[in-house]
Amino acid sequence: MSEQRIIRPTPISGFPEWTPRVRSVELRWLDHIRRGFERYGFSSVETPSVEALDVLMSKGETSQEVYTLHRLQADADDDSDARLGLHFDLTVPFARYVAQHFNDLVFPFKRYQIQRVWRGERPQEGRFREFTQCDIDVINVDRIPVHFDAELPRIVHEVLAGLDLPAWTLHINNRKVLQGFYEGLGVTDPLAVIRAVDKLHKIGADAVRDLLVGQVGLSPDQAAACLELAQIRGDDASVVDEVAKLGVAGETLSSGLDELGGVLDELSDLPPGSVVADLSIARGLDYYTGTVYEAVFDDDPGYGSICAGGRYENLAGQFIRRSLPGVGLSIGLTRIFAKLVAEGRITGGRFCPTDVLVVLPGDERRAAALAVAAQLRERGFNTEVYHQAAKIGKQIQYASKKDIPFVWFPPFEEGRPHEVKNLATGEQVEADPASWNG
């Protein structure tokens, strides 16, 4: 074997992979998040990893990040896989799913979806090419009450509160406020302003002002008002008054302010600072039409959003002649988890789920060891039998290396008592496999 050529495996940039102890923590997180979503009655949905390209690109703007699939040895005339791409988020596939399975669903349809997504980005800190997102969305026919815009941050807050994360804040805004305000100022292309202001955190106020005046064609006064709006922050409905003070009015603006104030009111029982209205955030994606969310770590906002989402009026409507508005919020599991791993904050996982290692005293006792193990498993303990007769010290060392808390000693001969050793305390006592409780 050592004569053959060795293909030395190396990590593939942007595609994270964890050792078993780290993976055991990730699995605990995934279970916890799923459990949190199910507590609120959300149904599990999974969609294929691929979508037709015209579905993926129906909103166009993210096309450059899509990975397409090709059969390595496809016949030249075989285009059966042509125009398939890996999904880059779970919102577009979910909108397609709702349209496709419309008659099998009950509305308002509340679903969670925990899956990998792929983006052909250049890897950098916090950016992955394959990562797991945990999404909750609600889609309804015709109209979706704004209460859902409050319920989603409540659920995500409750879920993430159980994961011992560094402090983070959910920033919330409403695209109607932005659009209505810009329209009220007499701006003709509010979407261009939204795209410019969305860069505020990255490029700063002066550069945004230059963009607004130089590129979008605003007057200096209009640009100043846009930047004033973007400075507004607050964790309660008082932000609504602050916007009103800027002296711009209009129907879309006041509708947006009503929604924003309503959501903040409904979330006022969360710990102070959990949710902050931030009139600068817009989310780049064109499909958001109302509430938008973006969460960042307080001590490292530049790392990028760890949760994001918003309300979309027309995403599923691309696929069916029905009005199917929705609102969704996505937890960027891999982005959060990978940062904590990189910073050494995640260390505590066990190498394996085994509770008890049953020692194999000798090959002639294998049947007895297997029987004890079966009995312990039946009683709810994850149990391994050591695979071969070996020195007891070696078997205990195996348990210790694998973080197995208990080592079980079946009797060397029939009729003698069983014993169990607690590796944390070193204590070893007689025990009955029918009644031992760990």
* Contacts of its own copies in 353-382 (CB under 8 A): 353-354, 357, 366, 377, 382
- DSSP string over 253-307: HHHHHHHHHHHHHHTTTSPTTSEEEETT---S-TT--SEEEEEEETT-GGG--SE
Residue 390 contacts its own copies per CB under 8 A: no
Identify the residue among 130, 228, 286, 300 touching its own copies (CB under 8 A). 130
- Of 157, 126, 176, 205, residue with least CA distance to 282: 176
Among 64, 425, 435, 437, interactor with its own copies by CB under 8 A: 64
d(CA 99, CA 286): 20
Does residue 255 belong to the site contacting its own copies (CB under 8 A)? no
Q: Which of 32, 53, 127, 419 binds its own copies (CB under 8 A)?
A: 53
- Over the window 25 to 44, marking each residue x when it contacts its own copies by CB under 8 A and - when it does not, the resulting string is --x----------xxxxxxx
Nearer to its own copies, 213 or 237 (CB): 237
124 binds its own copies (CB under 8 A): no
Distance CA 357, CA 25 (A): 22
| 163 contributes a contact to its own copies by CB under 8 A | no
CB 283 within 8 Å of CB 59: no
Please identify which residue in 165, 246, 352, 392 interacts with its own copies, judged by CB under 8 A. 352
CA angle 112, 305, 58 (to 5 degrees): 60
Q: How many residues bind its own copies (CB under 8 A)?
A: 100
Give the sign of the dihedral formed by CA 298, CA 199, CA 151, CA 89.
Answer: negative
Please tell me whether residue 15 binds its own copies under the rule CB under 8 A: yes
According to the binding rule CB under 8 A, does residue 45 interact with its own copies?
A: yes
The yes or no reply on residue 424 touching its own copies (CB under 8 A) is no
Note the residue count of the chain: 438
Task: Count Cβ atoms below 10 Å from residue 328 Cβ, excluding itself.
Answer: 27
| Cβ nearer to its own copies, comparing 42 with 168 | 42
Taking the complex as a whole, the smallest distance from the CB of residue 307 to its own copies amounts, in Å, to 21
Look-up of token digits 């605990």: 28
Exactly one of 178, 193, 328, 388 binds its own copies (CB under 8 A); that residue is 388
Query: Does 415 engage in binding with its own copies (CB under 8 A)?
Result: no
Question: Minimum distance from CB of 165 to its own copies (Å)?
Answer: 21
Residue 167 token pair: 């402090």
